Amino acid sequence: MRTQTRRLGAALVAMGLVATGLAATPAGAHQRDRGYSAEIRRASYGVPHITARTFADLGFGAGYVQAEDNLCVIAETAVTVNGERSRWFGASGPTDANVRSDLFFRKAIEDRAVERLLDGRRDGVHAPSDDVRDLVRGFAAGYNSYLRRTGVARLTDPACRGRGWVRPLTELDVWRTTWASMVRAGSAAVLDGIVAAAPPTATGEAAVQDAPGAAAVVAAADGTPAGVGSNAYGLGEAATANRGGMVLANPHFPWDGAERFYRMHLKVPGRYDVEGAALIGDPIVEIGHNGTLAWSHTVSTARRFVWHRLALVPGDPTSYYVDGRPRRMTTRTVTVQAPGPDGRLAPVRRTFHDTHYGPVVVVPGTFDWTATTAYAITDVNATNNRALDGWLQMGRASTVRELKSVLDRYQFLPWVNVIAADARGEALYADHSVVPRVTDALAATCIPAAFRPMYASSGQAVLDGSRSACGLGADPDAAVPGIFGPADLPVRFRGDYVTNSNDSYWLANPEAPLEGYPRIMGDEGTPRSLRTRLGLDQVQRRLAGTDGLPGRGFTAERLWQTVFGNRVYGGELVRDDLVRLCTARPTATASDGATVDLRDACAALRRWDLHADLGSRGAHVFVEFAVEGGLRFADAFSAADPVRTPRRLDTADPRVLTALADAVRNLAGVPLDARLGDIQTEPRGDRRIPIHGGRAEAGIFNMIVSTRVPGVGYPKVVHGSSFVMAVELGSHGPSGRQILTYSQSTNPNSPWYGDQTALYSRKGWDTIKYTEAQIKADLHLRTYRVGEGRRH
């Protein structure tokens, strides 16, 4: 063990991760020159425990260590939010995704969207508090300190070493990154439609441009941002062995890019002490725990923006009526630099149109801009400057009741639910996210008849923009106008459990359904996803003692075994019926008309162990079958038994065998009886790490989505289980297990580039390290101090 520690120390020195000359500098010296100063204790897997005197110092420490591990990711995010992707990363033409992104973010910059949010009232609700401003200022300074000490040319990460787009961060860069996260499920989700919006030509024809991303959002069944999701449990005293609370955090996020999580423990003695994870580039823990409270987030189904149908002034498609009076749109022409055909940078210009509701958006075929009609959106998160303060105060709450008070006051969660539990053994579910105030009365009066089916099926509200009475209005208890106040949001306290797996709030606990909320928040009394049903089934079986594990109630060990049990619920329900069907009918017609032999697939499914473990043979066949739409049920959904219905395969539906035939075609060249761990992997350097888990469509709780390569299998994870935490709260403080599946660093030369990924592969874990005793017991602990003179 001492040898391993010495090797780790040598690696740290080689990478420049120990701040030269600072480890032995007395803390008092930094206090005398009013410099930034933070103590960093790196524990196993590179997880930093950061202690500082002030929030500015704490931000400095967080910025420094995140730069040590993920500088290239943060630097690229700064390029994105400053609208410079095309300049540095290229573009294939004026409609390239990088160009569209640049135009969107440059418009936000020229509109001073972030600056306006920083200039409001200084009460910590309507504008960031001094503590949060200090945290952000310190974070930028810490990142810059590491970059300055190392130098761009000497960075160890080849992804950005010597690149011109790596530069010091400003505080505005950090705030712009936060703003981009706020609008992730709002205006950024229909970014393509905002950029594409142009008035009809003089001949009356619409100036149509492609808006693929916006079209996908319109087609979506709920408000979940593409590519993200989560599972979470909040367990109360009736569900745990020690009668204290427990929380499972299992967010499903991208394994690459700016939406990766980063584990850290942040402490300002006497003021803030939280262990958990944040998205890379964020200075505050967003999922985690303190001494008596733990929480996680799942992506909510509520919509984050509303549409307004505009009645245009005849002959002037850039003016619209409100209460019979014309109002003129405002315009802004934005220019970005993108490579032209000769490779040289050339300007690309786009004129944006805004209304008092928000930007005009075009989605061809659904929301067209014609001579008589246009559509604008209101993104209620575009003015959300409350998030960092909200997370800061979450970390200071000691019980779920106090947490609820924080949620009520700040109303800051942009597009996520919160699932929490405390040491007293009480659990909380709340969709306290920022939701446009579309009441049932407003929907009935203000959604035109043509758009009522859309609202009923998906919660997308299209309001009559020609009447001011159809505006969003204000709830007296809301933090800001235009959103639902806390009294009208779904909340449930329980002594047993609450869960969420990205369906709506309805079945947070099936014993006490949440009902009677406006459709914009989510659906009620409808079938739940297989992942939601499995999540509930796992809790119910554990509490009943019928899950095959010893005893009843959860411990951290039992919770870990539940998460990574890798049951495939869809297979449990229909595999036997599917095998009988394909045995009786060994050939089927694929969707392209080809005849496919099903015998080998049928044999693989027959022998499959109904799990998505590394050794599970044939699991990929069922997953492909599910992704192709093969899970067709013969029995009806029952709202009286929502966890277990429907459950019988519709063997008379021809689409079932067609889906199996398509699955076989998809897997051409891949052995149908292959072990999952041999064909589903994640690259780390010259290694291929076997990965367990699989797609939600098949009913897998431990969700992993990988790219399928013909003839190879699944050689790269796209997104899925990321930061996993099973924390147990009680009189002796927090304990439990945690892991970051893709590891702490994106730098291939870091010692923490693939260590947790290998740990995840074997279903291992790192322990919760919150108390001083827990931290000091880590045999790999290394301590160093970072700091420098403050620059204002």
Q: Which residues of 681-692 are buried (b: 16+ CB within 10 A; e: fewer)?
A: bbebeeeebbbb
Strands 316-322 vs 325-328: parallel, antiparallel or unpaired? antiparallel
Active site residue 638: no
**Residue 79 tokens, joined:** 């390029």
Half-sphere exposure of 27 (CA within 13 A, CB side): 10
Question: Which H or E element spans position 455?
Answer: helix 452-458
Strands 305-313 vs 462-464: parallel, antiparallel or unpaired? parallel
Burial (Cβ within 10 Å: 0-12, 13-18, ≥19) of residue 513 = middle
Q: Look at the block and give the residue holding tokens 């019988």.
A: 648
Sequence-ordered alpha helix ranges (H) in 328-435: 387-396, 400-410
Please name the residues in contact with 543: beta carbons below 8 A apart, sequence gap of 6 or more. Answer: 238, 239, 496, 497, 552, 553
Q: Is the dihedral of CA 589, 591, 592, 597 positive or negative?
A: negative
List the Cα angle 201/202/204 in 5-degree steps: 70
Sequence-ordered alpha helix ranges (H) in 82-160: 85-89, 97-110, 113-118, 130-150
* Residue 657 near residue 594, CB atoms below 8 Å: no
- CA 349, distance to chain mean position in Å, is 32
CA distance 16 to 19: 7
Q: Which amino acid is at 390?
A: G
In whole angstroms, how far apart are CA 651 and each of 363, 443, 578, 583, 585?
A: 38, 40, 7, 12, 11
**Residue 649 tokens, joined:** 């395969």
Which residue out of 86, 129, 230, 706 is catalytically annotated?
Answer: 230
CA distance 103 to 92: 15
CA distance 326 to 312: 8
Please name the residues in contact with 161: beta carbons below 8 A apart, sequence gap of 6 or more. Answer: 152, 153, 154, 155
* Residue 577 near residue 649, CB atoms below 8 Å: yes
CB atoms near residue 233 (< 10 Å) = 30
Got the DSSP string for 479-529?
Answer: SSTTB--GGGS-EEEESSEEEESSS-GGGSSTTS------GGG---SSPPP
Would you please indicate which residues are annotated as catalytic (active-site) residues? 230
